[in-house]
Amino acid sequence: MSTPPKISRPQTVNEGLLQRSVRHQMLLQRVGNREAARIRKLLAQAHGDVLVQLERRLSLITQRGYDLGPATTQRLQDLATGLGEMMSPVMKQAQLDLQRNLTDLAHQEASFQAGLIQTLAPVPVEVVLPAIATLQAVVTARPFAGKLLSEWFDELGRRQQSGVLQSVRLGIVEGETVPQIARRLQGEVLDLTRRGAEAVARTAVNHVSTHAREATFAANQDLISGVQWVSTLDSRTCAECQALDGQVFGVNEGRRPPAHVNCRCTTTPVLRSWRALGLNLARAPEGTRASMDGQVPESLTYNAWLRGRVQAGDLGTVEDALGKTRAKLFAAGRLKVEQFVDQQGRTLTVQQLQAKEAEVFKQLRLS
């Protein structure tokens, strides 16, 4: 006797929105990583020029006979100012390039959300896109983690100039050679600036995508009853974001990601029920009515969602989210999503993963 096919409850629109939002956020994290990599390359080139200039100018300052009297202190101040002036155009270029890309992202995100709602709704609904000026303001006029995008880059520049002065001064006091001072500067100042800029880029991508999404929700409050917070929920997720997971706020009310620098959380809309929308579905199929029940979906973690894709044989989606090598590691059940990022939420490169998980790579014959 054959086993009858399992009949599952029809998936609701809001459940579908949640699942798509989880997948979309994983792709957005890759966008953030690409922006961080672009800024890293730009700053690395500029920092190389800074170190060349540092060694040339520092050799003059540290000639025999100089001490840390007023004259040398002024020379160090001039050195820090000069190197800061060298970096200023580069930092500005990094900011403007990121700002341009974020503006494109805001428009893409608004269009994506509108299309997503129209695609998943079982009946035709009209979704309004937010005004262009509203989306542009998300990028330039809305602060994240307490500062505007321009203020973040201004602060990075000031910290870098101050760090140059302090690092060089300490090197002279310690009697270090010029190459030693250059290495100190590289490790204590320039690397910190680069990592700070990368974190700003990732956080800005989350910020702009979240609030472009929010602007779309605000323009369609006749369709949307609330906004649900969705956290990654792995060992890298902070207690604050864990506590916010699954909470539902009104449109333009309550908390929104990013909760902090390098936050990986997202949001998903909660559509109103067909009755609340004033739709006459009394004669519509039961599945259509059930799919538009207006209920808030249960929380879904990235790890659980991706595992479901593996079980469904949808490895293409897993590769889109993680990349080919990470997808193989995940599909084999050897690594979890949380193991693909470091403590700051930065995605580990394949080389870094291989260094940490050499035995797993060997067993799976990955290189």
State the pLDDT confidence band at 363, using cuts at 50, 70 and 90: confident
Q: Is the pLDDT of residue 84 over 60?
A: yes
Nearest to 148 by CA among 160, 157, 139: 139
* Residue 77, helix vs strand vs coil: helix
State the pLDDT confidence band at 97, using cuts at 50, 70 and 90: very high
User: In angstroms, rounded to a whole number, what is the distance separating the alpha carbons of residues 157 and 88?
Assistant: 7
pLDDT at residue 66 in the model = 55
What are the DSSP calls for 35-70, one per residue? HHHHHHHHHHHHHHHHHHHHHHHHHHHTSTT--SSH
Cα dihedral sign, 317-25-273-297: positive
User: In angstroms, rounded to a whole number, what is the distance separating the alpha carbons of residues 110 and 215?
Assistant: 8
What average pLDDT does range 85-105 have in this prediction?
A: 94
Phi-psi sector, 299: left (phi>0), alpha (psi -120 to 50), beta: beta
User: In angstroms, rounded to a whole number, what is the distance separating the alpha carbons of residues 51 and 40?
Assistant: 16
pTM recorded for the entire structure: 0.85
pLDDT at residue 8 in the model = 42
Domain ranges of the chain: 13-221, 301-367
Nearest to 29 by CA among 219, 215, 234: 234
The two structure tokens encoding residue 29 = 């994290």
Beta bridge partners of 94: none
Nearest to 232 by CA among 297, 296, 300: 300
Position 278, amino acid: G
Summarised one tens digit per residue, pLDDT across range 101-145 is 999 999 999 999 999 999 998 888 899 999 999 999 999 999 999
The two structure tokens encoding residue 48 = 């190389």
Q: Are 149 and 99 in contact (CB under 8 A)?
A: yes
- Residues with Cβ < 8 Å from 81, sequence gap 6 or more? 161
The two structure tokens encoding residue 248 = 């539902």
Cis-peptide into 285, omega within 30 deg: no
Nearest to 204 by CA among 94, 69, 354, 285: 94
For residue 305, report the phi and psi dihedrals to the nearest 5 degrees: -65, -45
pLDDT at residue 138 in the model = 97
SS3 content of the chain, % helix, strand, coil (to 5): 65, 5, 30
